[in-house]
């Protein structure tokens, strides 16, 4: 019997290390691809910038035309694209896991629309529901977006717990919430002045043009604080994904974990929407792409999703500048045009064929 068990154990050990090497290689290749997209995003713009000029502007110690283009014009948008892609992708994979719903993401569950309405209310009415608190006025838009996104999370979570809703019903509830806030957003457009309407529409289509080093620093700090908290729950999430009742038997407080993750996700979504506007499909496409590449285990899936989200957003930024020379297209439009057929292709690929 020992002679039989030992070869099987050695075979399993060999398969484990082979799978681990493949996943590490996959993460390394994704990191390289993300770096290439980031550099290309800086090189391509309204004015040509060769590799020599890029390196001169990047590494030069004196202020020059190249350094201004690299550090003040193109670098903020390129860095913001990476961070927004990571934030939305992380939000999507966490929501899909805790809600056990492959269609869940900040956009389909109404979080983006809720955050959008909160931000629009601050822009059009110049008021915030946090104005009674000692919050600087420049933070009204982000604070409103966060509170409306958080309220939507509590609404969906409470309804799901009280009515014991199925994942499909939760998705339908999220779609209903999304349409409700979209209608309210249209009302804000109707009430807006000409200048406010222009600002609102520009913001709704999504744009990296207003990226600055201050907003990048804020988003980077938030991402660095939240991502480790989410990664710390990797094994609990893997257990929930495999079998929720079994996870509870093993001591995982599923309801508490679900609520804490949804609050963190709403924070990431709200900050992202407040800084760059409504951008959909990143949180839906990136997790599914990462699953196809690296599998369901959360400790590998999360970093892969972060990288895929950053690549997708950076590539979208690149396309928005290169599609029509001299014109920067709204990035939210590009993500939708690319994301919808890409997601449909993923769904069709996962659908088993009938014999």
Residue with tokens 């996104």: 149
**252 contacts 240 by C-beta, under 8 angstroms:** yes
Q: What pLDDT, in 10s, does the model give residues 202-238?
A: 777 888 887 889 889 989 999 999 988 888 888 888 7
- Of 117 and 11, more confident: 117
**70 contacts 60 by C-beta, under 8 angstroms:** no
- Of 174 and 184, more confident: 184
Which residues, at least 6 apart from 313, have a Cβ–Cβ distance to it below 8 Å?
81, 82, 84, 85, 88, 279, 282, 335
Closest by CA to 155, choosing from 98, 110, 90, 186, is 110
Range with top average pLDDT, 71-80, 97-106, 260-269: 71-80
Q: What pLDDT, in 10s, does the model give residues 157-182?
A: 788 777 777 766 777 888 888 889 98
Q: How many angstroms separate the CA atoms of 143 and 88, rounded? A: 18
């Amino acid at each position: 019997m020992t002679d039989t068990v030992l070869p099987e154990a050695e075979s399993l050990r060999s398969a484990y290390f082979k799978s681990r090497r493949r996943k590490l290689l996959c993460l390394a290749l994704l990191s390289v691809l993300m770096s290439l997209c980031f550099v290309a995003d800086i090189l391509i713009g309204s004015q040509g910038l060769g590799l020599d000029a890029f390196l001169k502007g990047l590494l030069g110690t004196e202020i020059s035309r190249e350094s201004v283009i690299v550090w003040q014009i193109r670098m903020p948008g390129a860095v913001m694209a990476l961070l927004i892609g990571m934030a939305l992708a992380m939000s999507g994979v966490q929501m899909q896991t805790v809600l056990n719903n492959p269609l869940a993401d900040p956009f389909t569950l109404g979080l983006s629309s809720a955050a959008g309405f909160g931000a629009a209310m601050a822009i059009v009415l110049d008021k915030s529901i946090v104005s009674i608190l000692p919050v600087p006025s420049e933070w009204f838009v982000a604070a409103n977006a966060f509170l409306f996104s958080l309220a939507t999370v509590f609404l969906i979570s409470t309804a799901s717990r009280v009515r014991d809703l199925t994942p499909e019903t939760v998705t339908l509830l999220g779609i209903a919430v999304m349409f409700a806030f979209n209608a309210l957003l249209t009302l804000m457009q109707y009430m807006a002045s000409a200048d406010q309407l222009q600002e609102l529409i520009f913001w709704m289509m999504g744009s990296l043009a207003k990226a600055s080093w201050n907003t990048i620093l804020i988003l980077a700090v938030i991402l660095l604080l939240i991502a480790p908290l989410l990664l710390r729950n990797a094994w609990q999430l893997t257990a929930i994904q495999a079998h929720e009742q079994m996870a509870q038997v093993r001591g995982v407080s599923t309801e508490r974990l679900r609520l804490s993750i949804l609050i963190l996700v709403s924070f990431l979504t709200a900050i992202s929407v407040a800084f760059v506007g409504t951008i959909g499909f990143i949180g839906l496409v990136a997790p599914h792409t990462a699953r196809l590449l690296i599998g369901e285990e959360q400790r590998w899936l999360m970093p892969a999703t972060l990288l895929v989200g950053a690549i997708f957003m950076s590539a979208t930024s690149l396309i928005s500048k290169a599609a029509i020379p001299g014109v920067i297209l709204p990035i939210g439009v590009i993500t939708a045009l690319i994301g919808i057929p890409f997601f449909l292709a993923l769904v069709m690929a996962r659908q088993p064929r009938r014999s």
